[in-house]
Structure 1
Amino acid sequence: MTPTHTFEHKAMKTTFKLRLQHQDKKQAQSAATCAIDLIDEIENKLSRYRAGSDVWQINHMEAGQTLFLSELCYDCLCLSLEASAQTMGLFDVTLGRQIEHQKRNEDGQPPELSGQLAMVPNRPAIHCNEPGREIDLGGVGKGFALDRVRELVRDWDIESGIISAGASTHLAFGPQEWTIGLSGKNETKDVTLRDQALSASGSGIQNEHIISPAGHQEAYRHPRVWVLHESAAWADIWSTTAMLMTVDELGAHAGQLAGLFVENPETGGVDTIPATR
Structure 2
Amino acid sequence: MPDPSRVTRRDFITAPVAGHARAADFWLRVHRQIMACRFEIVLPGEAGGATPLAREALDYADRLEEVMTIFRDTSELSRVNRGGHAGPVVVGPVLFAVLALCAEVHRETDGAFDVTSTPLSRCWGFLGREPRLPAPGEIEQARSVVGMQHVRLDREGCSVSFDRPGVSLNLGAIGKGYALDRLGALLQRRGVRRVLLSAGSSSILASGGHAEPWQVDLRSTVIDERLARLHLAHGAVGTSGAGEQFVEVDGVRYGHVIDPRTGCPAGGVLSASVITTDAASADALSTAFLIGGPDLAQRYCSTHPDVIALITLDDGSRRPRTFGAYPGVRMTHG
1:235 aligns with 2:282: yes
CA deviations on 1:26-46 (whole Å, 9 max, x unpaired) are: x32111111111111111100
Q: 1:264 to 1:186 in 2, by over 3 A?
A: farther
1:150 aligns with 2:184: yes
Tell me, yes or no, if the aligned pair for 2:257 and 2:265 is still in contact at 8 Å.
no
SS at match of 1:102: coil
Partner of 2:225: 187
SS at match of 2:65: helix
Taking every aligned residue pair, what percent have the same amino acid on both sides? 23
Partner of 1:119: 153
Q: 1:182 to 1:217 in 2, by over 3 A?
A: farther
Aligned-residue offset at 1:127: 2.2
126-135 vs 79-88, which moves further:
126-135
Q: 1:58 to 1:106 in 2, by over 3 A?
A: farther
User: Aligned equivalents of 2:177 and 2:53: distance in 1?
Assistant: 19
Tell me, yes or no, if the aligned pair for 2:68 and 2:175 is still in contact at 8 Å.
yes
Q: 1:253 to 1:263 in 2, by over 3 A?
A: same
User: Aligned equivalents of 1:22 and 1:79: distance in 2?
Assistant: 35
Partner of 2:309: 260
Tell me, yes or no, if the aligned pair for 1:28 and 1:158 is still in contact at 8 Å.
yes
Aligned residue identity for 2:215: T
1:17 aligns with 2:40: yes
Tell me, yes or no, if the aligned pair for 1:83 and 1:91 is still in contact at 8 Å.
yes
263-272 vs 236-245, which moves further:
263-272
Aligned-residue offset at 1:220: 2.2
CA deviations on 1:54-111 (whole Å, 9 max, x unpaired) are: 1111111164322110221111111111111111111111122223443323433455
Partner of 2:18: none
Aligned-residue offset at 1:238: 0.7
CA deviations on 1:212-251 (whole Å, 9 max, x unpaired) are: 2211642323111111011100000110000112323322
SS at match of 1:89: coil
CA deviations on 1:174-206 (whole Å, 9 max, x unpaired) are: 134111111131531211212111111001256
SS at match of 1:220: coil
Structure 2, unmatched stretches of 5+, are 1-21, 247-254, 325-334
Tell me, yes or no, if the aligned pair for 2:268 and 2:313 is still in contact at 8 Å.
no
Tell me, yes or no, if the aligned pair for 1:187 and 1:268 is still in contact at 8 Å.
no
Residues matched between the structures, number: 275
TM-score (norm 1): 0.90
User: Aligned equivalents of 2:244 and 2:191: distance in 1?
Assistant: 37
Aligned residue identity for 1:159: R
CA deviations on 1:113-150 (whole Å, 9 max, x unpaired) are: 34533112412111233211010001110100000010
Partner of 2:71: 49
User: Aligned equivalents of 1:266 and 1:96: distance in 2?
Assistant: 28
User: Aligned equivalents of 2:314 and 2:291: distance in 1?
Assistant: 14
1:97 aligns with 2:119: yes
Partner of 1:38: 60
Partner of 2:95: 73
User: Aligned equivalents of 1:206 and 1:140: distance in 2?
Assistant: 20
Partner of 1:269: 318
SS at match of 1:245: helix
Partner of 1:8: 31
Aligned residue identity for 2:127: K
Tell me, yes or no, if the aligned pair for 1:4 and 1:19 is still in contact at 8 Å.
yes
Aligned residue identity for 2:91: L
Tell me, yes or no, if the aligned pair for 2:28 and 2:45 is still in contact at 8 Å.
yes
User: Aligned equivalents of 2:290 and 2:185: distance in 1?
Assistant: 29
RMSD: 2.3
216-225 vs 53-62, which moves further:
216-225
User: Aligned equivalents of 1:266 and 1:85: distance in 2?
Assistant: 29
SS at match of 2:119: helix
SS at match of 2:230: strand
Q: 1:238 to 1:209 in 2, by over 3 A?
A: same
Aligned-residue offset at 1:210: 3.3
Tell me, yes or no, if the aligned pair for 1:169 and 1:236 is still in contact at 8 Å.
yes
